[in-house]
Amino acid sequence: MKRTLIILAALGGVLALWFTMYQLAAAFNPSPLGPQPNLRGTSEVPTSTPVVVRLNYDDLVEQVIPVTGTTIAVEWGDLGQGLIEAGAIDLEKFETQYGGLSAEQREILQGDNLQQITFTPDNIQFWTNVLWSLGLTQQSKVLSAGPMMKNSEQTPLGNYASTG
């Protein structure tokens, strides 16, 4: 009788251990997801031949930054001079950044007669820096009283990429 009780206790322990392991396995191996919406609008029926999409880097670049450039009309006036005087552009650092300035870049920063801007792959970085500095010098409530200034104790202005 004692032997039977020991065997039953051992069998009960094995069953309890098996049940626990089964529950753990079920918890770590969830059932498969049900049907999902087709967000991309692609065919839900498999195609007999794979669809191959080929992206050409040069074609994409031409769409974003055409080699011939994109021209916009502006009333630039002496804005470049104003950016230098305000300290938004350090002319020496700009010259160092670009290994010297071209006559066109110098005219943009020091002249007063620019009426159009043509963005090209060759000058886009220069214009990005010039226009970024323009954004930093503009006076608006967004900059002077917006979230950046309101939260300057938690995130000092020097921690932002454009000001630090």
Q: Give pLDDT tens digits along the chain (164 positions).
A: 777 878 877 777 777 777 777 777 766 666 666 676 666 666 667 777 777 778 888 888 888 878 888 999 999 999 999 999 988 899 998 899 889 999 999 999 999 989 999 998 889 889 999 998 888 888 778 777 877 777 777 777 666 665 54
Q: Give the span between the Cα atoms of 84 and 163, in whole angstroms.
A: 16
Residue 11 domain-assigned (yes or no) = no
pLDDT of residue 164: 43
Q: Which residues pair with 118 in a beta bridge?
A: 71
Residue 111 domain-assigned (yes or no) = yes
- Judge whether 105 and 122 are in contact, CB under 8 Å: no
pLDDT of residue 108: 94
- The total number of structural domains in the chain stands at 1
Residue 135 domain-assigned (yes or no) = yes
Residue 112, domain extent? 68-141
Q: Which helix (H) or strand (E) holds 119?
A: strand 114-119
pLDDT of residue 40: 67
The whole-model pTM stands at 0.56
Residue 110 domain-assigned (yes or no) = yes
